[in-house]
Every structure is written in C-alpha cells, then in structure tokens.
Amino acid sequence: MSKARLRDVIERGRYDAVLFDLDGVLTDTAQIHASCWKRMFDEYLRSRAQRTGAALCPFDIATDYKLHVDGKPRYDGVRDFLHARGIDLPQGTPQDAPGAETVCGLGNRKNDLVNAAIAAGEVLSYPESVALLRILRENGIKCAVVTSSQNRAAVLEAAGIADLFDAAVDGNTLIELGLAGKPAPDAFLQAAKALGVPPARAVVVEDAISGVQAGASGNFGLVIGVARYGNADEMKRHGAHVVVADLGELIDRS
C-alpha cells in the first residue's frame, strides 16, 4: 500500500495552516463536557426547584447542549442556558466557589467535574484525526488547536498529542487578550496570526455550529464541519464548505 496522503480538499498550494477545534474534533471529550454540563445544571435546577416550587425540567444533552453551550466559553454557556430557562443570575467572579449561585460559580462546578474526568483517564483521541494531523505536518502545513476550553493543555497531554501543534488558543488566551468566544471569529483569527498565516490561507475544522459560524464569519479559506451526529445539513446552512463524518475521509490511502 502506498503512503497515506491528503486528499484534494486541503491543497498544499492553497492552504498553509489548519486550525482544529479540540472537543469532538481531535478528542472524544465532547461527551465528557456534555455529561458534566448535565450533571451540574441538573444539580442546580433540582435545588432551585426544591427552594422555589418551580417545575423541574432537566438539562437535555440532545437539545440544550447543542443550542446553548457547545463550543462556547464556559461562563457564556452557563449564562446562555440559564437565560433560555428564564433564569438570571449575577455574573460573580472566576474566584467564586464551585456551585455558588452565580454564573461563575456554576461554571466552576462544571470545570471541577471535567477535571475529575480527565484525571480519571477518560480522555481519548480520535485515531483518524491524529493520523490527519501527522500527514499535515509531513506536508509542511502548520497546525493549531483552537478551543474555548480552559482545560486544553491537560486534555492534549492526556490524549498524548500535545506535541503536534505549532500554536494554541484556548479559553485562557481569550481571557488574557479580552477576545470574544465562538461564534465570534476572534479565537481562530488569533491562531492564524500566531502562525503568521492570513485567514484566506487557513482551514478551520469544527464540530460545533458556533465554531462553524466563527470560521465562516472570519472569512477563512475553507471551513470543514465534522458531523459525527448526522447534522451535516445544519453545518452547511451555517457556513461549512465541506462536511465529513470523520476526518479520515480527508486521507487518501489508495
């Protein structure tokens, strides 16, 4: 069998860099995040219902996760979901105790749950995504990881792929530089800047609608959607130029 190579979708003469989202694209951590969001929100909603007598409507991963929190910075996700439920909490500060009845407190509780899952060895990478990363690097294409998560370094280390990137932009970067999270294009634009590549010469790879929107609004040369859950049409409606079910589809093994 000949050596695996890139298909024509990511053309070396046309693109100089590929910017990858993390959760759900490189690592199978989207499920960890979704389950931790559900546990945190359900704990809070149950407590609120007991105190106020309001009806309990649990967090739904199939709808609430995708609509309100997927791909967004943690505190934005807390605030957007609560607003969708008609709940308005004070913002608080990042130093709030986990579980405090503030946006930051609830976000910190969710972060503790994610860190516990990472420490328990629950992080797995997608083999085809790692294979694509290695082929891109062999072809001289720069690679960056772009995520709203503040757990980026721990996740990459746990997955064993921390050494495969030329640049990284994560939730900590957004806070440091005062950048807006997805669906704003700021994070991807910062990654392209760090690599010294204009957006038109860069590819964005995303599995979240908010990330696809970020790639489209940033005028990147190519936006690839990874539709692991059958939402290809939705990704195309929001700006994906190409949609695949798995990144192995971008590898030519003939």
- Catalytic residue numbers, as ranges: 21, 23
Measured between alpha carbons, how far is 188 from 208 in angstroms, rounded to an integer? 14
Report residue 238 CA to chain centroid gap: 16
Instruction: Give 41: exposed, middle or buried? Use CB within 10 Å, 0-12, 13-18, 19+.
Output: buried
Residue carrying the six token digits 């190519």: 222
Question: What stretches of 1-53 adopt beta strand conformation (E)?
Answer: 5-6, 17-20
Among 154, 156, 155, smallest CA distance to 164 is for: 156
Tell me which long-range contacts 239-242 makes (C-beta under 8 A, separation of at least 24). 239/212, 239/213, 239/215, 240/206, 240/212, 240/215, 240/216, 242/9
